[in-house]
Amino acid sequence: MTDTVAEMNQVLAEADCLVDEQRVLRAIQTMATAIGERLQDRNPMVLCVMNGGLILTGHLLTRLRFPVQAEYLHATRYRQETTGGILEWKLRPDANMQGRTILIVDDILDEGTTLDAIADYCRAQGAAEVLTAVLVDKQHDRKCRADLQADFTGLKVEDRFLFGFGMDYKGYWRNAPGIYAVKGL
């Protein structure tokens, strides 16, 4: 076993499971229901924020019982680090957003800088309405705007370094079957 694998296994073994898989799945179903009630007649475009939003987007799409167009983008501040830096666009969406309702799907609303910048980009591309969906809203007072919140939120979780269900620790454990907090961070 490589040192990295051993380290990552140790991180999971020592982590606190804050939300188990079944509770996460119930939260995603609740989000899908709310999204359906609001967007089923609006021809929305779902934008998955890579890589964190991948798992949530996959779960949501299979629960939406109306036609959606799904696209993706890649913008990051973390680059496999544990603290955020300057926003880096790795891939901007090239889909026509003019007059559309856009639903941005991401794993977490922490400070919100990335989500806010993506929403601004969509508006600049002519989106008629921009909504956001996040699996986790981390509870603290460091949001980039005091009033920032997602339109659809699955879970509110304490202010710790989280991983699982799309969120990563140093690029690993996005696949962890629940929401975990790293010991000591």
Q: What is the CATH number of the domain that holds 129?
A: 3.40.50.2020
Q: Which of 11-15, 26-30, 114-118, 129-133 has the lowest mean pLDDT?
A: 114-118
Kindly report the average pLDDT of the chain as a whole number: 92
Q: Give me the mean pLDDT over the 40-56 stretch.
A: 96
**pLDDT for residue 154 is more than 60:** yes
Residue where the block lists tokens 């269900």: 165
pLDDT band at 1 (very low <50, low <70, confident <90, very high): low
Domain count, the chain: 1
pLDDT at res. 85: 56
Instruction: pLDDT band for 145, please (50, 70, 90 cuts).
Output: confident
pLDDT for 80 equals 53
Q: Higher pLDDT residue, 64 or 184?
A: 64
Q: What is the pLDDT of residue 60?
A: 98
| Predicted pLDDT at 76 | 78
Question: Does residue 82 surpass a pLDDT of 60?
Answer: no
Q: Which residues pair with 133 in a beta bridge?
A: 105, 152
Asked if residue 83 is part of any domain, the answer here is no
Query: What average pLDDT does the segment 42-54 reach?
Result: 96
Residue with tokens 């898989």: 21
Range of the domain at 106: 3-74+98-181
Measured distance CA(180)–CA(170) in Å, rounded? 14
Task: Please check whether residue 155 lies inside any domain of the structure.
Answer: yes
Residue 153 pLDDT greater than 80, yes or no: yes
In a domain, 159, yes or no: yes
Tell me whether residue 26 is in a domain.
Answer: yes
Domain assignment present for residue 91? The answer is no
Which whole number is the average pLDDT over 13-38? 98
Whether 32 shows a pLDDT value over 80: the answer reads yes
Give the pairing type, strands 178-181 and 16-20: antiparallel
DSSP letter (8 states) at residue 166: T
Q: Is residue 92 part of a domain?
A: no
Sort strands 69-76 and 129-138 into parallel, antiparallel or unpaired: unpaired
pLDDT in tens, 103-117: 999 999 998 988 998
Q: What is the pLDDT of residue 84?
A: 53
End-to-end CA distance of the chain: 25
Binned at pLDDT 50, 70 and 90, residue 166 comes out as very high
